[in-house]
Chains A and B, each alone.
Chain A
């Protein structure tokens, strides 16, 4: 019976090619617009470390007091040096790392080559196991390396390619800002987006690769200055990078790994205790106003998903809705035009269910055709999204199997939903009236 309905549907669609094409086009465009914006939205709102994001926390400490808070009472979104180092020293989380963005130059051993500017972070050794950073060669450094301010460096596979031709370079020497550092690890293509460990400096997404990682205290000692945002509520008393370290300016990101609810509660209590200590020491003249958010909440709080992306998705969904309303109207016209045919079928004994099946099959075929067109247009849309979106975001949108399946599914299901009302109307056709007027 299904094959018969399929044939009927195809014959009917062929009878009015203009109307059919119109419906297929509408569904195709509507689905493609929605799916293209969905692929972008999915990319920017994704969880960069889904297996662990609920265990990774970003603490905020209110070192500026009421005048430095945002209008909704939020403390600064980065730390000053004093607090970051104090939190590292107390070491109350399972793993933790303070970090700041650096942009040092690397001087090649070959003197004829130009120096190279790279970007990266100064971090603590626990950064690597905490974020499950994959290594191609070697590994990160130990906490004793942190404490001893060891001259070690972790480099990206890309930089390893550039400097050492991609071989296992562990143990080799890299000259960063005029000092020699021993390579202890080479990353294995690690470029999480959003760049959750330092949202404040990347704004969430970054096209520049993280090429070097130096031990935090080593970088501080070597005077490798902060290359990220520096926010100050007052001008530092002393000049230079050392002055920045003594100032209440916010420029350090922080992340802590807390395994369960008890650990989170304990850490919160610790932060409040720390702020109270600062209060009684006279450094803070206000009650504790700390925050502790896990990665998903932190990304939300920092508005990592650009509002343009959300508005675009909504507008595209609106377009799909209009296309569906359009399809409802056209299907209604198409089905009711065949009232006499329906009358004859009903008079010959076809139950309403049969009419339902017949017309839903027809709607489904329109949906499938629209879906196929939608697939092509989505492909074109995702490929050309770089034309309308900033590079850092556009490069994240991808076509994969799940997007293709979703496109087809949305097209077919949506069209069949759109076909429900016209089919209902078709099934209500009174056989007697139709037969009479013939």
Chain B
């Protein structure tokens, strides 16, 4: 098989418009598809980010107090009574009070500084509060140090600023603050006048939010040993015994209402397992990935169909020439190779333009929407897809062309 490029180029010069249209279509398709692939891959990556929570067995109850006028000590007594009741339930493994939970979709965040009078913060951290059961309830992986002791757990009233002297941090935060790796026993300030000393390190522990702005602080969280006795309400994070999630989710609200009726647990969103929490928080990421997927498939289908259509037209137009070539000794596979090479040349030139357009679009989203820069991999993948697609789309009309009989050369139209 010999690829004679020159006659192909000469022939293409006679269909300038058609050639340019296919090349342009391939360029635009490539530009969009490689950006779409990039977005899809990024969003799917978000979707599968580990929270650090034992998601199969953990659920969260949003418990609001019906009477906002309670004092902190009244609330604290109720919270402790609730927890004792929860931990005694047969389907419940453990429970902790909390002011927020991983993947909640936003919440408490503090600046972190190394000294109390530092003006520019070192970094930012999600803040979790819980008692000595927090780590076990969530099923976090304690990689260094120790858990909180019961006597370290403090009480925090509504919008009260309490800074416990001990803290457990995520490995991401520990590494950010102490890159040398000896964070245990060191202390830092998180918007308080007193320091907190790191007694334990967990890995991983996702932030509450998944917003784009927090990407720079990914995985940076701290846990303070506190019962957040806010007059508005409290979250109870509950771990069910293995395989008893549904039972536990049924038992828990009953047990809480039995403790006191002066609370509100929304029947719709008040109790959520982690599958629901994860599904909700990544709503827009998943949607964007699906949308980009649909658009890419439609685009590729339309481009393929367009190539089939135009190549068929060219084959029809050149039956006579093909007949002449066949009569002069060209084999069927030479004809096939001719059309495939022709398509390859068009695809390749379209791809060159497409790469430029693709990067231009990406750059535009980077400057306007603070999206990330696209790596070359996606462009390479896109080029490969389009070239293969072009060859596949050309195959059927090209095979038809190769079956043109040499006799056609002798027929006039």
Q: Is the CB of B28 within 8 A of A329?
A: no
Any A CB within 8 A of the CB of B313: yes
Q: Is the CB of B309 within 8 A of A329?
A: yes
A-B contact count (CB 8 A): 169
Stretch at the interface among A51-59, A159-167, A190-198, A237-245: A237-245
Q: Is the CB of A319 within 8 A of B64?
A: no
Stretch at the interface among A2-10, A320-328, A350-358: A320-328
Q: Is the CB of B18 within 8 A of A322?
A: no
Q: Is the interface of B mostly helix, strand, loop or mixed?
A: helix
Residues of A within 8 A of B306 (CB): 22, 26, 325-326, 329-330
User: Residue of B at shortest CB range from A308?
Assistant: B288
Q: Is the CB of A225 within 8 A of B68?
A: yes
Q: Is the CB of A337 within 8 A of B313?
A: yes
Given contacts A329-B22, A330-B306, A388-B291, contact A223 B68 (CB under 8 A): yes
Q: Is the CB of B25 within 8 A of A235?
A: no
Q: Is the CB of B365 within 8 A of A311?
A: yes
Any B CB within 8 A of the CB of A216: no
Question: How far does the alpha carbon of A392 sit from the alpha carbon of B264 in the complex, in Å?
Answer: 23
Any A CB within 8 A of the CB of B67: yes
Distance in Å: Cβ of B364 to nearest Cβ of chain A: 9
Distance in Å: Cβ of A27 to nearest Cβ of chain B: 10
Q: Is the CB of A117 within 8 A of B64?
A: yes
Any A CB within 8 A of the CB of B295: yes
Question: How far does the alpha carbon of A283 sit from the alpha carbon of B192 in the complex, in Å?
Answer: 21
Number of interface residues of B (CB under 8 A): 64
Any A CB within 8 A of the CB of B376: no
Q: Is the CB of A421 within 8 A of B369?
A: no
Residues of B within 8 A of A230 (CB): 159
Any A CB within 8 A of the CB of B247: no
Number of interface residues of A (CB under 8 A): 66
Distance in Å: Cβ of A337 to nearest Cβ of chain B: 7
Q: Is the CB of A105 within 8 A of B288?
A: no
Any B CB within 8 A of the CB of A389: yes
Any A CB within 8 A of the CB of B283: yes
Any B CB within 8 A of the CB of A200: no
Question: How far does the alpha carbon of A224 sit from the alpha carbon of B361 in the complex, in Å?
Answer: 49
Stretch at the interface among B31-39, B88-96, B136-144, B327-335: B31-39
State which of A232, A321, A329 has its C-beta within 8 Å of the C-beta of B21. A329
Any A CB within 8 A of the CB of B47: no
User: Residue of A at shortest CB range from B290?
Assistant: A388
Return 27 A-B CB contacts under 8 Å, by A number. Answer: A22-B305, A26-B302, A26-B306, A67-B120, A103-B232, A105-B67, A107-B66, A115-B264, A232-B191, A235-B193, A239-B157, A240-B159, A240-B160, A241-B159, A243-B160, A306-B284, A308-B287, A308-B288, A311-B365, A321-B28, A322-B299, A325-B25, A326-B305, A329-B18, A336-B313, A388-B290, A390-B284
